[in-house]
Structure formats: C-alpha cells, structure tokens
Structure 1
C-alpha cells in the first residue's frame, strides 16, 4: 500500500495534484481513489484554492483499475464488492465536476479506463505526444460505458466519435484527441506542467467569483433543456456578479490601467 498515493503542491492559489504510483502506472487502488475523493470533495470549502492542475508521476497518466489494489470483504458477495468499487471511483469524477475550481489535466502515456475518465472529468486537457486513451472496459467483457465515459465523451467529441471508441475499446491517440477537440494542445513531456501552470496563472487574473461561476455555468448548460434555459442561467449570473466587489475593482483597474487586486471568492 502506498503511503502517499497522491502528492499536493501549493503554488499560491494553484494546487498541483500528482498521481503518485509510478511503479504501478498510477493504476487506481483503494488508497489512491480515497485520497482523490477526499481532496476533490474538500475543495468545495477551500476558496483560497482557485485552480487545480492534475498530473501524474512516471511514464503513464493512469493505467486504469488496479485489480489487486482493493481488499476484499469476506462477508460481502461479489456484487456488493464490485458495487462499492464502482461507486467510490464514480464519486471522484462527480466531485471533480462539482468542485468550483477549474481542473487542468496534463497527461502522458496510457490513460485507460478510469484514467481516461479522470481526463474527461477535467475542464481543460493538455496531452504529451505519447498520450493514449481508451475506455478499456469492453475489452474485458464489460460494457464500454463506465466511469462517466458515456456522459462526458459524447458531449466533448460528438456521438459518432464517442461511439467509435466506446463500442470498440480502441485507443485514441494524442493527434486524434487534438483533432476532435478533446485535448487543447499536444505538448512535449517537459513542457506539460509549465503549460498547465501558465494557463492556471492566466485564470488567476480573472475575478474569483467570476471564475467559479463560469465553470458552474459551463457544466450546467451542457445539460440545459433548451437555449432559453442556457440564456436564463447566464443572465442571472451576470446580474448577480455585476453587484460584487470584484466588478467594482475590475472597472476601477480598467480605467486606471492597472492589474486588478482581487479579494476572496
């Protein structure tokens, strides 16, 4: 069992979260998932953290589920055991979407199964040239739709491309991911973290509340029932934000030709 399955590095208002099981290709065992779930759940009450960068140590982002990494309860049946594992991993993806901080993923090598879903649940993705992603479940006799893949992938790349990969379990290359907009840019290994940190720093130039509510609106409007719903949410957010101290400061900074000084979100 790893003593520290993830590491967390604070860089001002940015936190860099690294999967830290490189000897196991950062495969998901119970301690890793428990650590990610605790971290992303707690972010809802940590306004001082404004942006998260998610990365991984070693040559792989995440090779999927570590089948040997989940202790079995001798008193639980196989269905109960698998259900517990499923729900615990799924809760991580849900916590990533619900936390108000944008998550920038920087990934290299294999990102399989649940590792693929960690990328899909992030807000921005950068990939190294060797990034290879797949929904591996259908290759082992299960369905191809798991860990949020059937929710996230069609919304990110469209139903045809999503069906192509979910129905086969084939690997998506970095080039294909960039071509269909799943990753923002292909970046050399050594530049992955600097690239993510540069984008995070750019996000920090925005107002704290504006940044949080922009992620909120983006996620809600993916599922908006109509164009009218989407406009209504945007209108309410803008009216609410116009009455904040951040907006007063932004206007003053604009007219005084200086950088804005933000308060807490």
Structure 2
C-alpha cells in the first residue's frame, strides 16, 4: 500500500501528501521509495507545472521512522557499504526535489523534523501553518548534525550564523520565528494547503518555459562563482524564453489590459 496520496486540484498542479499520519508521516523505506517514484513520474509529466508537498494529519514529516524495521541489510554488502546505500537513497530525495523541472511548494502543516525539515528546505517555496515547527534533530540522535543536504540548503536561506545555531543545537523553531528568520516566506492563518495551491495557480498563469527556467537559474546562481557567471546563466535563459512565443502573448495581454 502506498504511503503517498497524489491528487490533481487541476491538471497542471500535483499535490503530494505524505500519508502516514499515525507516525507524523515519518520516513520508512516504503515512503522513501514511494516518494522517489512519485517525483520520477512527475518529472516526466509535461502537463504538471507545479508541485505542492504536504503531510496528512497534524504533521508534515517527523523525519526517519526509528520504530520501523531497519532498512539496512548488511548480509550481502556488509557495513558500511549497505548503510551508505540507504543513506544515499534518502539523501537523493534532496537532489531530486531541487532538479525537478517543476517548482515545489512545501505546505508545512505541522512538525518538520530531521528528514522532513530537509524535504522542506529542498523545496523552492516554503509556507507554514501556525502549527508548524522545524528542527534538524540529527545531532540529538547521536549522529552528525549535517544530513540529507541541510548543510547545503539551510545556510543560504537563513544565513550561516542561524544555520550553525539550528544545526548544532537542534533547537525547535516555531512558526513565528521561522517567518522572522526567513525559513518560510509566509504563514497561513487558514488552510496552508489551500494557500499553497493558490500560489501554484499563480505560477501556472506565467509562461511555461519562463517558470521552469527561473527555477533552474535560481538554484544555479545560488552558488555562482561571481556576477559574470550568474549573468551568463540569466542572459542565456532570457534569450531562450524570448523565442517561445509566450513573451509576445504576455505583452499582448498586458497591452489589452491597459486599453480596457
């Protein structure tokens, strides 16, 4: 049985709901594999333009399910090779979200801890309900504090100082602080999922190539070597976008609105 619920509020928007509410949507092997499969399918789906990621029940994702049977079978590969395979499989969710053509909006409806925090950080837009809470958690489990990409994704979002604090102390960040430090861009007073879908609908109103290329440029230039490299990527994207015909259509629509 799949631990994901995938719905389409409209043909060009996919809502992926982590669906283990009794476990606060904790990640076990099945959920990790289901999520990989869903992202692979969406990546091949040219009709889908935006993805919303959320959790069922009162949580977004509480991280790795420590009560589940160990997913590591060392009988064939031995350790640490078998452990590394599983570690890489989880971590690959971060790169898969970042490399997905479609923008991903994390609708954080409750606790986002450990691996759940990592999934939110790998999303392109994060909005949260007032019940949302964030915590890296890893160091509390006797592990290193850096896992599933957080040492790469968190510092550009909140700054190095805040990131070092959050990762080393593993303290919990409530929703209001998350907004204040820029961890999320919006708080939702009503349904965070409805608000996320509304943002998705806004993005679907823009040019198809323009939205896809904007996501690619943003992630590429986040760690650009300098302004020249960043401008090169931007310039290339803009010229390609100008050949799609969507720019002319948008300009015509704007002109018509001014006349009315």
Q: Which consecutive unaligned segments of at least 5 residues does structure 2 have?
A: none
Q: What is the CA deviation profile of residues 226-263 of structure 1, one whole-angstrom value per residue up to 9, with x for unaligned ones?
A: 011111111111111111121222222222339xxxxx
Q: Aligned residue for 2:145?
A: 144
> How far, CA to CA, are the matches of 1:88 and 1:224 in structure 2?
27
2: distance between equivalents of 1:48 and 1:135?
Answer: 34
In structure 2, the residue matched to 1:109 is 110
Q: Trace 1:34-53 onto structure 2 (pairs within 5 A).
A: 34-53=33-52
**Which position in structure 2 is the counterpart of 1:205?**
205
Q: Which moved more, 1:151-160 or 1:232-241?
A: 232-241
CA contact (8 A) 2:72 2:83 kept: no
Give the CA deviation at 1:111.
1.0
CA distance change for structure 1 residues 141 and 251 in 2, over 3 Å: closer, same or farther? Answer: same
TM-score (norm 1): 0.92
SS in structure 1 at match of 2:170: coil
Residue 194 (str. 1) matches residue 194 (str. 2): yes
Aligned ranges for residues 89-128 of structure 1 at < 5 Å? 89-128=90-129
Which residue of structure 1 aligns with residue 241 of structure 2? 241
Aligned pairs for 1:161-180 within 5 A: 161-180=162-181
Does residue 130 of the first structure (1) align with residue 114 of the second (2)? no
Q: How far apart in 2 are the matches of 1:25 and 1:44? A: 26
Provide the rounded CA distance (Å) in 2 between the counterparts of 1:71 and 1:181. 35
Query: Structure 2: how far apart are the matches of 1:200 and 1:69?
Result: 37
Q: Give SS of 2:140's match.
A: helix
Structure 1: gaps spanning 5 or more residues = 259-265
Q: Any runs of at least 4 consecutive aligned residues in structure 1 with deviations exceeding 4 A, and if so which?
A: none
**Aligned equivalents of 2:62, 2:227: Cα separation in 1:** 39
Contact 2:72 2:86 in 1 (8 A): no
Structural RMSD (CA): 1.5
CA distance in 1, matches of 2:249, 2:130: 41
How far apart, CA to CA, are the structure 1 residues paired with 2:119 and 2:69? 18
The answer as to whether partners of 1:15 and 1:51 remain within 8 angstroms in 2 is: yes
Does the Cα contact within 8 Å between 1:30 and 1:69 map onto a contact in 2? no
Q: CA deviation at 1:69?
A: 4.4
Matched, 1:23 2:22: yes
Answer whether contact 1:43 1:100 (CA < 8 A) is retained: no
1:226 aligns to 2:226 (yes or no) = yes
Please tell me whether the aligned partners of residues 103 and 122 of structure 1 are also in contact (alpha carbons under 8 angstroms).
Answer: yes
Aligned length: 255
Q: What CA distance in whole angstroms lies between the structure 1 residues aligned with 2:250 and 2:52?
A: 26
Q: Which residue of 2 aligns with 1:14?
A: 13
Aligned equivalents of 2:234 and 2:71: distance in 1? 46
Q: How far apart are residue 72 of structure 1 and its match? A: 4.0
Look up the SS of the partner of 1:133 in the other structure: strand
Partner Cα distance (1:80, 1:135) in 2: 25
Q: Post-superposition shift, 1:60?
A: 1.2
SS in 1 for 2:191: helix
If the length of structure 2 is used for normalisation, what is the TM-score?
Answer: 0.93
Distance in 2, matches of 1:108 and 1:240, equals: 37
Separation in 2, partners of 1:160, 1:255:
46
Q: Distance in 2 between matches of 1:82 and 1:133?
A: 26
